[in-house]
Amino acid sequence: MGWLHATATRNITPKFRVHATTGVSYHHYYKLWRKDPLPRLEVERTDAFSPDLWFGLDYKYNRMFRFLGIVLYGNSFGFWDQVPRKLQLIAGVNMAPFPDSWWGVFRRMRFDIGVFNTYFLEVEKEQGWFPALYLYWQFQLF
Q: What are the tens digits of pLDDT across the range 76-121? A: 876 677 788 899 999 999 999 888 888 888 888 889 999 999 998 8
Question: If you average pLDDT over residues 115-138, what whole number do you get?
Answer: 86
What's the structural domain count of the chain? 1
pLDDT band at 41 (very low <50, low <70, confident <90, very high): confident
Q: Is residue 73 part of a domain?
A: yes
In sequence order, what are the residues at sequence separation of 6 or more whose Cβ sits closer than 8 angstroms to the Cβ of residue 126?
Answer: 117, 118, 119, 120
Q: Is residue 125 part of a domain?
A: yes
Q: Is residue 112 part of a domain?
A: yes
Task: Note down the domain range covering 96.
Answer: 2-137
Q: Is residue 22 part of a domain?
A: yes
- Closest to 122 (Cα-Cα) out of 76, 74, 81, 78: 74
Q: Is residue 37 part of a domain?
A: yes
Q: Is residue 36 part of a domain?
A: yes
Q: Is residue 65 part of a domain?
A: yes
Instruction: Tell which wins on pLDDT, 38 or 91.
Output: 91
Lowest mean pLDDT of 5-9, 92-96, 111-115, 125-129, name the range: 125-129
pLDDT at residue 138 tops 60: yes
pLDDT of residue 141: 65
